[in-house]
Amino acid sequence: MNPKIIFTLLILLAVVFETIADIYFKKWSIENKKYLIIVGMLLYTLGTAIWAYSLKYEFLSKAISIFTILNLIFIILTGIFFFKETLSMINIFGIILGVISIIFLSM
C-alpha cells in the first residue's frame, strides 16, 4: 500500500481515538465518574501510539502539524454536536485556516 495512504489512515485513526477520549474526559468533568477518565486515558494512549506509528511514514514536523489541526477540527465539531457549544466568527475563521494549512502541508 502507498505510504501516503497508510500515513493518512493512521493519522485519521489516531485523531478519532483522541476525539473519543476527549468526549470521555468532558463527560468525566461533568459527571465525575471515575471510569470515564480511565477509559479516556486508555483511548488517548491508544491514539498517541497510533500517531507515533504514523511517524514511520512521514516527517515529524508534517505529521504533528496535520495531526494537531485535524484533532482541533474534530474536537470543535464534537463540542458543537455533542455538547451544544457555539463558535464565534474568529473560531470559524481559524478552522478555515486550519483546513487550508492541511491542504498546503499535503502538497
pLDDT in tens, 76-104: 889 899 889 898 999 889 889 988 988 88
Mean pLDDT calculated for residue range 8-19: 95
Examine the pLDDT at 106 and tell me if it is beyond 80: no
Confidence of residue 62 (pLDDT cuts 50, 70, 90): confident
Amino acid identity, residue 42? Answer: L
Examine the pLDDT at 9 and tell me if it is beyond 80: yes
pLDDT of amino acid 23: 94
59: helix, coil or strand?
Answer: coil
Using CA atoms, how far residue 3 sits from 45, 55, 60, 106, in Å, is: 23, 11, 15, 13
Do 7 and 63 contact (CB within 8 A), yes or no? yes
For residues 17 and 71, give the distance between their C-alpha atoms in angstroms, rounded to a whole number.
10
pLDDT in tens, 20-43: 999 999 999 999 999 999 999 999
Do 74 and 19 contact (CB within 8 A), yes or no? yes
**Using alpha carbons only, what angle is made at residue 78 by residues 77 and 80, rounded to the nearest 5 degrees?**
65
